[in-house]
Structure 1
Amino acid sequence: MTTTEDTELIRRLADDFSALQDAVLARMNGICAPENVAALEDPSLAGPITVVLAHADVLARGAVRRAELSVQPRERLRPLRADARKVRQARSQAEAVYKERRAVHPSGTPRPVGPLELRVARRAFPAAFAHALRQELRARGLPDGTPQAPESDLARWAWEQKTAGDELPVEVRELRDCDDDAFVQALLRDACEEENTHLRHDALAERWSRHARTALAWGRYAIGQAERSVLAAPPSARRTRLDALDDAYQDTAVLAARAREAQLRSMDLHDRMRARMATGPFAELVAQCRAAALARFADAEPELWRTMGELTARHQADCPEQADGCRRCHRALAGLVADTVPAASGKVGVAEPETATAPAADDRYALLTDLPDTAVVAVADAAVGDESALCGYGWAAEDGTTGHGDSLASSSGEAEVIGICAAALSLQERHDDAPVVILCDSTEAVDAVDTALLAGDPAAAHRTLLFPESRQLMDRLLSHRHRVQVRWLKGHIGHDLNETADAFARLALRRANGRTPRAAARREEARILRSLGPGLGSLAAAA
């Protein structure tokens, strides 16, 4: 093929979703035409290939699920499962290729880097350098924060800087300014009804990427509901319900593809805005302000500056990446420089080591020492699936009671919240006025429930609670909020109640998705209960 023909083929594949997906799957199966194989290697297609494989991945898993629920013979399931594994592997490989190619600037040249000393100072002593930069900005009559672009909402910032072109179209402005629920509904209509071309506008790229995952979760919710409907019918009467399940997978496949496209557009926007910052008058202003701030830093901390200069000079003398500007070396050098600072130099703003937000492992039982003897303590856990929003939860209490069930959740955190609420509601009914304490190994779930209990409003946990099932449970729990506490417990450390809750959660999920028959589930439940033994003991005593 000629260069013109190659270019035309690449353009056609980029513009035609179905043609690109057919070519990618044909290459995966070893039956792709040579000219298509060559075209698929073009760097411009690396991102679009991840989009079509996100779509194909959901459809392949949907084909497997339909076959499972229609009780197909094992020999007919094997090729479907093998194909789903191949698509998943191809998707992982495509994501890795895209990541590698994105590491190089679209122009083919590495992204520009600042002077090594500047990058070391900013990383090792962020507070001190930020103070020097603020002084320089004020001396120039510039507001704090200039001349840096924000980490998010780059498109709005670009418009404020008069760099993004003309006035926004009305449809784009409406999508940008509507509330989050309305925006998610627009994404669902885009995927399930009619494509909205306005979403591709730069002003919406980051918001689209931010909310695409929520829209995708609602697609998985539809799959979960359809699965439940199929499993409620006998195998001989499932055809119509299986068709509805197919429809849910088709819609979710489009949502997955559009979510990946949104990510690509957001990353592309970031690249273009960062590139714009690196050129022209704005770049000159950035360089001048940072260089002057570095000089102020050196004047304020001469000994520190001398030490940093010596270390960077020695490093650059024999660094194999010197020709590349020591692009990644500042991280290690910042650690070396910070180690040379005496403890008394805390005023320079040495970066503090990160601390765990969760309680230390040694404190996980001490948290219960303040409870009254009448307190009822239980551990809750949850399990989520890959294909749909179906989840399982389980709990086990010190008094020997246990429970498990299934629901729908958008994330593992939401599933854990459902488990906490189910355990607390059940135990408060069994124990008249006793305080109920639920332990859980998910910090997200503990924080969400605790926030809602303190506020007296389920909306306070809206970032974790997306679906009506969890919100309704939380609403019920709030009427008992003065009797309920939630606390964090380190998970999977061999504690009986934690392991029991986990086993029940996994059993409940397998039962909910039909992978464990009713009789087998009863036998497994009995086995889990036998493993507890006659004496549960207390969590506090287990320390």
Structure 2
Amino acid sequence: MTITEHTQLVRRFADDFTALQEAVLARTNGICAPETAAALDHASLTGPITVVLAHADVLARGAVRRAELSAQLPERLRRLRAHARTVRRARSQAEARYKEQRARRVTGRSRPVDALESRVARRASPAAFAEALRRELRDRGLPDGTPQAPESDLARWAWERKAADGELPAPVRDLRDCDDDAFVQALLRDAREEENPYLPHDAVVERWSRHARTALAWGRYAIGRAERDALACSPATRRTRLDALDDAYQDTAVLAARSREALLRATDLHDRMRACTTTGPVAELIAQCRAAAVARFADAEPEVWHRVRELTAEHRAHCPEQADGCPHCHRALAAVLAGARPAGTGEDTGTDEDGDGEHPTATAPADVDRYALLADLPDTAVVAVADAAVGDESALCGYGWAAEDGTTGHGDSLASSSGEAEVIGICAAALSLLEHHEDAPVVLLCDSTEAVDAVDTALRSADPATAHRTLLFPESRQLLDRLVRHRHRVQVRWLKGHIGHDLNETADAFARLALRRTGGRIPPSAVRKEEARILRSLGSGAGPLSIAA
């Protein structure tokens, strides 16, 4: 194969999604021509291959699910499952190769390190240095923040500073300026109706990448609803419902591919914008402004600056990273300058890394760790533990709960994440207990900090909307709306999971049972037997556990 033919084949794969996917799957199945395999190894295709495999992965799992629900022959089902495993493994390997390639690219293009004195001064006296920088920018006629590239919204930053030429096209402006819900709807139309050519534009590609996961969650929501509809019919009458399930998987496969593409494009934008801040006019402007700001800082804070220079000179005398400019040393030096212990010294500071005042090594005995958080509750409080389980393929989730009074419950819903599923479990359990205990306070324990924080914030503020960052789907939002009406009788608290807490283990078992039941992976006739088995093996407490009505 000539170099020209090889180049043309690489170009064809880069431009033709279907051709690339067919070639990648052929290689995955071991039936790829040598010239095709050589073309697929080209560095420019490393990212696109992850896109086509994200698409193929969803379709392969969809084929398995349809076969499971349509009573296919066991041999065919085994082949489909083996193919799905092969595609999933190829996808993981492709993503690992892409990460390695980008790591090498970024390493070879590292940004220059500022002078150590400048970095120590900025970190030790941020307010004084910021004021010196503002004065320098003002004297140059530049807006605040110009010489500092942000960590996100780099495209907007570049456009505002005329780093890009021309005006934004009207469709791009519409995508940039619409609210989040409208933007997600645009992503769903892009996948389900017609590809939007303006999403890859530099001005909106970061937003596309941020919201692609939300759009993908709505794809999984459609799969979950289609699964429910199919399972509601007998196997003999499921044909039309299974066609709808196929459609949902097709849409979700496109959403998965577009989500991956958005990430690749946003990463490329990030690399290009970072390059702009380390080379050329922008880099020169940044260096000039910071150098001038250091001079102003030295004039305004002569004693601090003198100490900075002394400290850095002493440090350079023995630092093994001096040849590289001491790229990571400024944090510890600034801490010394500020009179604090340097981070990472291993000394006991009395606080943890999250700043919540609890030292991570100050562990309590096992029993206290499990039960001390209930010591302040009134004797009349009804305490229960809730848990949830989510699947990989659709938004279907299962939840379960177990209370100290011996009652338990489980059910299913639709959730975009494990956090949302846990919130559903908390709300369902609390509402059931509130109904059966008219006056007693109800306390729900859960091992998900995200879910506990979301529900607690909503209860304290009396506003379910405060949890909407965690809750995407209407099912969970409606449950929380109902629970907030009883906020004066409900508390939620965190419980460390998987430490042998009987109620936690029971809730977890019921959640997994509910997920299997709603996905049709356990026959209805076996559900009661499984419930009884869970109660026998995991139930304990004041009395025999029973299933709540």
**TM-score normalised to structure 1 length:** 0.89
The CA distance in 2 between the partners of 1:144 and 1:354, in whole Å, is: 31
Q: Which residue of 2 aligns with 1:87?
A: 87
1:344-383 to 2 correspondence within 5 Å?
Answer: 344-345=339-340, 354-355=353-354, 362=364, 365-383=371-389
| 2:327 pairs with 1:330 | yes
Alpha-carbon RMSD across the aligned residues, in angstroms, is 2.9
Q: Which moved more, 1:423-432 or 1:434-443?
A: 434-443
- For 1:26, what is the secondary structure of its paired residue? helix
Q: Which residue of 1 aligns with 2:547?
A: none
- For 2:32, what is the secondary structure of its paired residue? coil
CA offsets 1:453-491 (integer angstroms, 9 cap, x no match) = 223232221111111110111111122121111111111
Q: Which residue of 2 aligns with 1:469?
A: 475
The CA distance in 1 between the partners of 2:440 and 2:190, in whole Å, is: 50
The CA distance in 2 between the partners of 1:414 and 1:532, in whole Å, is: 25
CA offsets 1:47-79 (integer angstroms, 9 cap, x no match) = 111110100110111111111112223322222
Q: Which residue of 2 aligns with 1:398?
A: 404
Q: Which moved more, 1:144-153 or 1:50-59?
A: 144-153
The CA distance in 1 between the partners of 2:440 and 2:265, in whole Å, is: 54
| 2:267 pairs with 1:267 | yes
The CA distance in 2 between the partners of 1:112 and 1:520, in whole Å, is: 61
- For 1:355, what is the secondary structure of its paired residue? coil
The CA distance in 1 between the partners of 2:341 and 2:129, in whole Å, is: 16
Letter in 2 for 1:117: L
Contact in 1 for aligned 2:54/2:253 (Cα 8 Å): yes
1:385-534 to 2 correspondence within 5 Å?
Answer: 385-533=391-539
The CA distance in 1 between the partners of 2:192 and 2:48, in whole Å, is: 20
The CA distance in 2 between the partners of 1:347 and 1:137, in whole Å, is: 29
Q: Which moved more, 1:386-395 or 1:22-31?
A: 22-31
How far off is 1:291 after superposition?
4.2
CA offsets 1:409-464 (integer angstroms, 9 cap, x no match) = 00000000000000000000000111111111111111111222223232221111
Letter in 1 for 2:327: H
Q: Which residue of 2 aligns with 1:126?
A: 123
1:218-229 to 2 correspondence within 5 Å?
Answer: 218-229=218-229
CA offsets 1:131-159 (integer angstroms, 9 cap, x no match) = 43542442452555341112221221111
Q: Which residue of 2 aligns with 1:45?
A: 45
1:15-414 to 2 correspondence within 5 Å?
Answer: 15-105=15-105, 109-115=108-114, 117=116, 121=120, 126-128=123-125, 131-141=128-138, 144-291=144-291, 296=297, 300=304, 302-303=306-307, 305-312=309-316, 314-316=318-320, 325=324, 330-331=327-328, 333=329, 337=333, 341=336, 344-345=339-340, 354-355=353-354, 362=364, 365-414=371-420
CA offsets 1:237-289 (integer angstroms, 9 cap, x no match) = 22221111111111100000001111111111111111111222221121233
Unpaired stretches in structure 2, ≥5 consecutive residues: 544-549
The CA distance in 2 between the partners of 1:446 and 1:336, in whole Å, is: 35
Given the superposition, is the C-alpha separation of residues 176 and 312 from structure 1 closer, same or farther in structure 2, using an over 3 Å criterion?
same
Q: Which moved more, 1:437-446 or 1:291-300?
A: 291-300
The CA distance in 2 between the partners of 1:370 and 1:446, in whole Å, is: 18
Number of aligned residue pairs: give it.
524
Letter in 2 for 1:15: D
Letter in 2 for 1:417: V
- For 1:365, what is the secondary structure of its paired residue? helix
- For 1:45, what is the secondary structure of its paired residue? helix
Contact in 1 for aligned 2:124/2:337 (Cα 8 Å): no
Unpaired stretches in structure 1, ≥5 consecutive residues: 538-543
Letter in 1 for 2:257: A
**TM-score normalised to structure 2 length:** 0.88
Q: Which moved more, 1:403-412 or 1:513-522?
A: 513-522
Contact in 1 for aligned 2:386/2:422 (Cα 8 Å): yes
How far off is 1:394 after superposition?
0.5
Contact in 2 for aligned 1:187/1:212 (Cα 8 Å): yes
The CA distance in 2 between the partners of 1:155 and 1:115, in whole Å, is: 24
How far off is 1:309 after superposition?
4.1
Contact in 1 for aligned 2:209/2:262 (Cα 8 Å): yes
The CA distance in 2 between the partners of 1:477 and 1:353, in whole Å, is: 33
- For 1:486, what is the secondary structure of its paired residue? strand
Contact in 2 for aligned 1:117/1:312 (Cα 8 Å): no
Letter in 2 for 1:183: F
How far off is 1:366 after superposition?
3.1
Contact in 2 for aligned 1:133/1:290 (Cα 8 Å): no
Given the superposition, is the C-alpha separation of residues 315 and 3 from structure 1 closer, same or farther in structure 2, using an over 3 Å criterion?
farther
Given the superposition, is the C-alpha separation of residues 162 and 139 from structure 1 closer, same or farther in structure 2, using an over 3 Å criterion?
closer
The CA distance in 1 between the partners of 2:238 and 2:408, in whole Å, is: 33
Contact in 2 for aligned 1:137/1:289 (Cα 8 Å): no
Letter in 1 for 2:284: E
Letter in 2 for 1:198: Y
Letter in 2 for 1:421: C
Contact in 1 for aligned 2:506/2:539 (Cα 8 Å): no
Contact in 2 for aligned 1:224/1:408 (Cα 8 Å): yes
Letter in 1 for 2:455: V
The CA distance in 1 between the partners of 2:331 and 2:111, in whole Å, is: 23
Contact in 1 for aligned 2:57/2:87 (Cα 8 Å): yes
Among the aligned pairs, what percent are the same residue? 70
